[in-house]
Amino acid sequence: MSAMINKPIIAAVFSVFALTAVNEAAAQTANSTTAIMNGEVHTAAGDVIKNGDVIIRDGVIVQVGADLIAPTGARVIDASGKVVTPGVFAPLSSIGLLEISLDEEANDAGPNRGDGFPLGAALDAVDAYRRTSTLIAINRAGGVTRALAAANPGDSLFGGRGAVIDMSGAVDSVTKPRAAQIAMMGSEGASRAGGTRMGAWAFMREYLDEARSYAANPNAYVRRNREDRFALSDLKALGAVVSGAQPLIVHLNGEADIRNLIRLKTDYNLRVIIAGGSEAWRAAEPLAAADIAVILDPMVNLPSQFEDLGATLKNAARLNAAGVKIAFYNPPGFGAHNLRLLTQQAGNAVAEGLPYEAAIAALTINPAEMFGLDRQLGSIELGKIADIVIWDGDPLEVTTIPQAVFINGVRQDLDNRQAALLSRYRDLSRGALPLAYRGGE
């Protein structure tokens, strides 16, 4: 289908409408202290501070509390009547890898081994990440400040290593490269391993065994007789998984597969995160005991396949009640375009029984913990990086929008391509020039 797309036209459209993300770094060099005053501060650290204040200096939170005094010379933002939260952290996305789904040249979200490409686990999202993607500015304007950018496994068992990025669009916006490895199990994994789940789990264990052997003695492994189907670069990449240094994000849904994953984690001493988990509530207590987090779509209700028969809107609430760490992600196919809707998904989870502050945590501190970044990110606490959003109302309501977004303590420009299109085409009346040539840049 991508061959039918007129690429010169696409290039022309983007040259006309694409916006460069511009922040206030230069201004804040001269005045590096910002005071957010009198807001309802949801810290994601357990406290909600009414009429709360947050003081930011040189990109770091230096004071949080009520009735603080703004430092002399600080840039003061009156947040009266507004809600202040940590920035939204999207724990699984293809942001920066996918721009136009049907155009191969603008889509690095997943490899096709059917074309003879042999690698999976060795892929590194940083190699394809585009900080200038128009989707970054759009989602940043929706309050998203960090995200895991990761490829889909395509038709491989593994999708490669995802990277945590900030949404500033800056040259140095990669926060943590190689933050997680991606894998596909369940029915999708079965389709990559002879058509059965038995094959998929056997193949996964075989990969992990081979990766262990390679990590134990790479030189001996290379010299021995071995099967060509295990690429050395894949085994090398999986070394961080089998050592426990890197989490393995596994796409699956059914209860049986979830219980298999719990056993796999125990047998191989892995750090594991579930993506999907539509039936995870059926194994909530074992998941909590095994310390396995779940990244889920709280809107999954009706089954779309056999392994979703137990899907329920109460999945998030039940998992949280059992002590399972949860976070939210967009359904497949929307993992780059609609990260800004994560707050709406969280609101629906609250409507189905998830406590409000647990929903805020699922949007902020929980993803930071999943990727070992909770000492720097995810909450409004003393000494943490200032990723902060000021909302004009309840952030979990559909009509609420950010009034200000800070990344690394720098207030971000919220202009984006969609806002530019709205401005350009708001007036549809006849004029001297065609609509496409009136105003704008």
pLDDT greater at residue 331 or residue 338: 338
Closest CA to 310 of 254, 260, 250: 254
> Is residue 13 scored above 60 in pLDDT?
no
| Spacing of C-alpha 19 from chain mean position | 22
pLDDT average, residue stretch 164-183? 96
CATH class assigned to 89-377:
alpha beta
The rounded distance, in Å, linking the Cα atoms of 32 and 410 is 9
Whether the CB-CB separation of 294 and 273 falls below 8 Å is answered with yes
pLDDT greater at residue 140 or residue 429: 140
> Is residue 8 scored above 50 in pLDDT?
no
Closest CA to 337 of 99, 144, 150, 105: 99
Whether the CB-CB separation of 296 and 278 falls below 8 Å is answered with yes
Whether the CB-CB separation of 244 and 269 falls below 8 Å is answered with yes
Q: What is the pLDDT of residue 43?
A: 97
Topology of the domain covering 25-85+397-415: Urease, subunit C; domain 1 (2.30.40)
Q: What is the pLDDT of residue 338?
A: 92
For the chain, counts of helices (H) and of strands (E): 15, 16
pLDDT average, residue stretch 305-316? 93
> Is residue 111 scored above 80 in pLDDT?
no
Q: What is the pLDDT of residue 158?
A: 92
> Is residue 10 scored above 60 in pLDDT?
no
Q: What is the pLDDT of residue 419?
A: 85
> Is residue 30 scored above 70 in pLDDT?
no
Closest CA to 54 of 31, 77, 72, 21: 77
φ/ψ of 123, rounded to 5, equals -65, 145
Q: What is the pLDDT of residue 302?
A: 86
The domain segmentation of the chain, as residue ranges, is 2-19+418-437, 25-85+397-415, 89-377
Q: How far is CA 411 from CA 25, 141, 145, 368, 418, in A?
A: 8, 11, 11, 21, 20
pLDDT average, residue stretch 293-307? 92
Confidence grade of residue 333 (pLDDT, cut at 50, 70, 90): low
> Is residue 294 scored above 70 in pLDDT?
yes
Q: What is the pLDDT of residue 430?
A: 73
Confidence grade of residue 228 (pLDDT, cut at 50, 70, 90): confident
- Sorted by sequence, the CB contacts under 8 Å of residue 338 that are 6+ apart come out as 139, 330
Closest CA to 129 of 179, 90, 169: 169
**What global pTM score does this model have?**
0.88
> Is residue 21 scored above 50 in pLDDT?
no
> Is residue 332 scored above 90 in pLDDT?
no
56: buried, middle or exposed (CB in 10 Å: 19+, 13-18, 0-12)?
buried
pLDDT tens readout for residues 42-84: 999 988 999 999 999 999 999 999 999 999 999 999 999 999 9
Question: What stretch of H or E contains 406?
Answer: strand 402-407
DSSP-based three-state secondary structure for 104: helix
Please tell me the least confidently modeled range out of 30-44, 93-107, 206-220, 306-320.
93-107
Cα separation of the two ends of the chain: 31
Q: What is the pLDDT of residue 342?
A: 97
